[in-house]
C-alpha cells in the first residue's frame, strides 16, 4: 500500500505550488500512473478521497490516466512495449532495463482558482 | 488556471536516495538493501551473515519493521551498530528515513564497513523506493513457490543478487530450483543468484564472499 505515500507527496507538491501561486482552491488534478509503476489506480483513488480532506485539494476532481510502458533495448536499441512478466525485447530477447515511460507516477497538471 | 507540473511523485525519494549515496561514498560504507516476503528469512540471513563476518568487519544494521523490535534484538550480538525503524503500518522504507540516521550528529552508522537494511516484508512496495543502497538483494524462500519471480518481476528484476533461501526444505516442498533459476536469469541476466540455507549453512559462504568482493571493489 505505498499508494498512501504517493498520495501524500501529491498533496504536498500541489499544495505548495498552489499556495505559491496564491490559489485558494484546487479543482482538478490529472495524474498519470505508469503501467509498470506498481501503483494501483484504484488504491490511489481510494487513498486520495481520505487524504485530501481538510487540504486545499478537498473535493478536487482527479483524473487518473494509465500510461503504457516503453522500453529502449540496451542491446539493440529497439523501442518496445515490455510485457510482463519477463519484459523481454522482442527483437533480441534481452530483458528490458531502461524505461523512458511507464515506470513512474507523475502529476501532469492541476487546475485551481 | 491550469498549471502543468510534469512532476514525478517519487522524485523527492530519488533525491534523498542520491544524498544517501553521496554520504555512503564519502565514508566508504557498502549499503545492502535486503528485501523479500514476510518470513522469507531476512533476519535469519542477517544473523548468519553477521556471525560470519563480524570478526573481520564493522557491521551495522537498520531494521525496518512494522511495529516490533524483536528482529533487532536477534542481531545485537553481532552488530557494531543497530537501529530500529518502526514504520507503524508503512509497507516499505523510504530514503528520508535512512537519511535522517546518516546525517545525525553522530553518524555511528557511517563508522562501519557494511550497512545492512532489512526492509519491510513485502515483495511489491520496497522495490519501488530507492534508499541509496549499493546492492539490492531480494530473497525468495523455497516455501513460497517458484512462481514468485513471474508474479512479482520488478522485485527481482533490479536486484544485484537474488538469494533462494531455506534450500534445506527443498525435499519437502514443490519448488523447482531449476525453473526458478531459469526465470530469474531471464528477468535479470546480470544479477547473481545464491541458493542457500542458514540451517545447514550450505551456500552461505558464496554469498558472504560476494559481499566481501563488493566491499573491496567499493573501497578500492
Ligand atoms: N528450515 C529453514 N528455516 C529457516 C531458514 N531461514 C529462516 N528460517 C525460518 O523462517 C522463519 C522466518 O524467518 P525470519 O528470518 O524471521 O524471516 P524474515 O524475513 O526476517 O521475516 P519478517 O521480518 O517477519 O518479514 C523462522 O522460523 C526461521 O527460523 C532456513 O534456511 N531453513
Ligand atoms: Mg525479519
Ligand atoms: Zn533488443
pLDDT value of residue B68: 85
CB A108 to CB B5 under 8 A?
yes
- Note the ligand closest to the C-alpha atom of B40: 1
Mean pLDDT value of segment A51-75: 95
In chain B, the residue whose alpha carbon lies closest to the alpha carbon of A106 is B8
Q: First CA to last CA across chain A, in angstroms?
A: 32
Nearest CA in chain A to B183: A86
**Chain B residue numbers touching A85 (CB-CB < 8 A):** 149-151, 153, 187
**Contact call for residues A110 and A14 (beta carbons, < 8 A):** yes
Q: What are chain A's domains?
A: 3-69+102-112 (3.30.2320.50)
Mean pLDDT of B74-82: 93
> Measuring CA to CA, which residue among B100, B149, B122, B113 is closest to residue B34?
B122
Q: What is the pLDDT of residues A17-31, one digit of tens each?
A: 999 999 999 999 999
Chain B (21-80) residues lying within 8 Å, Cβ to Cβ, of chain A: none
- Which of A11-15, B86-90, B130-134 is predicted least confidently? B86-90
Outline where DSSP puts E strands in A5-80.
26-34, 61-67, 71-72, 79-80
B69 CA to centre of ligand 2 in angstroms = 10
ipTM of this complex = 0.89
**pLDDT tens string A84-107:** 999 999 999 998 988 999 999 999
Mean pLDDT for chain A overall: 94
Residue A1 has pLDDT above 60, yes or no: no
Residue of B nearest to A85 (CA): B150
- Give the pLDDT confidence score for residue B181 in this predicted structure: 96
Which pairs with CB-CB distance under 8 Å and at least 24 residues apart come from B207-215?
A: B207/B49, B207/B161, B207/B163, B208/B49, B208/B52, B208/B53, B210/B161, B211/B30, B211/B32, B211/B49, B211/B53, B211/B114, B211/B135, B212/B53, B214/B30, B214/B134, B214/B135, B215/B30, B215/B57, B215/B113, B215/B114
**B2:A109 CB<8 A:** yes
In contact, B17 and B102? CB cutoff 8 Å? no
Rounded to an integer, what distance in angstroms lies between the CA atom of residue A73 and that of residue A92? 9
**CB < 8 Å to A74, chain B:** none
Give B205's strand partners: none
A41-51 and A3-20 are packed helices; what angle lies between their axes, rounded to 10 degrees?
50
The answer to whether the CB atoms of A88 and B186 lie below 8 A apart is yes
Dist. CA B139 → ligand 3 center (Å): 28
Chain B residues near residue A18 by CB distance under 8 angstroms: 3
**B38 pLDDT tier (thresholds 50, 70, 90):** very high
Q: What topology does CATH give the domain B6-219? A: Rossmann fold (3.40.50)
What is the domain partition of chain B in residue ranges? Answer: 6-219
Q: Dump the DSSP string for A62-88.
A: EEEEEE--BEE-TTT--EE---TTT-B
Amino acid at each position: 500500500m505505498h499508494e498512501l505515500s504517493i498520495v501524500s507527496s501529491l498533496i504536498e507538491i500541489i499544495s505548495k505550488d498552489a499556495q505559491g501561486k496564491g490559489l485558494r482552491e484546487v479543482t482538478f488534478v490529472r495524474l498519470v500512473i505508469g503501467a509498470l509503476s506498481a501503483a494501483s489506480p484504484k488504491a490511489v483513488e481510494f487513498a486520495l478521497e481520505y487524504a485530501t480532506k481538510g487540504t486545499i485539494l478537498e473535493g478536487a476532481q482527479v483524473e487518473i490516466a494509465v500510461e503504457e510502458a516503453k522500453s529502449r533495448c540496451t542491446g539493440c536499441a529497439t523501442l518496445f512495449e515490455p510485457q510482463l512478466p519477463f519484459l523481454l525485447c522482442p527483437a533480441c530477447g534481452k530483458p528490458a532495463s531502461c524505461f523512458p515511460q511507464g515506470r513512474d507516477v507523475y502529476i501532469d497538471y492541476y487546475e485551481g482558482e | 488556471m491550469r498549471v502543468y507540473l510534469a512532476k514525478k511523485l517519487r522524485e523527492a525519494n530519488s533525491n534523498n536516495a542520491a544524498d544517501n549515496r553521496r554520504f555512503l561514498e564519502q565514508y566508504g560504507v557498502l549499503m545492502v538493501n535486503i528485501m523479500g516476503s514476510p518470513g522469507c528469512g531476512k533476519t535469519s540471513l542477517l544473523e548468519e551473515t553477521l556471525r560470519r563476518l563480524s570478526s573481520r568487519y564493522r557491521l551495522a544494521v537498520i531494521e525496518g519493521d512494522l511495529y516490533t523490535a524483536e528482529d533487532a534484538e536477534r542481531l545485537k550480538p553481532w552488530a557494531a551498530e543497530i537501529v530500529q525503524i518502526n514504520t507503524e503500518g508503512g509497507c516499505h522504507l523510504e530514503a528520508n528515513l535512512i537519511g535522517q540516521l546518516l546525517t545525525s550528529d553522530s553518524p555511528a552508522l557511517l563508522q562501519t564497513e557494511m550497512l545492512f537494511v532489512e526492509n519491510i516484508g513485502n515483495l511489491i512496495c520496497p522495490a519501488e523506493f530507492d534508499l541509496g543502497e549499493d546492492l539490492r538483494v531480494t530473497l525468495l524462500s523455497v516455501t513460497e513457490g517458484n512462481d514468485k519471480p513471474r508474479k512479482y518481476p520488478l522485485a527481482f528484476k533490479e536486484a544485484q543478487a537474488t538469494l533462494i533461501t531455506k534450500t534445506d526444505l527443498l525435499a519437502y516442498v514443490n519448488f523447482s530450483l531449476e525453473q526458478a533459476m531459469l526465470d530469474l536469469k531471464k528477468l535479470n541476466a546480470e544479477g547473481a543468484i545464491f541458493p542457500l540455507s542458514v540451517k545447514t549453512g550450505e551456500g552461505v559462504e558464496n554469498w558472504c564472499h560476494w559481499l566481501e568482493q563488493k566491499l573491496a571493489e567499493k573501497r578500492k
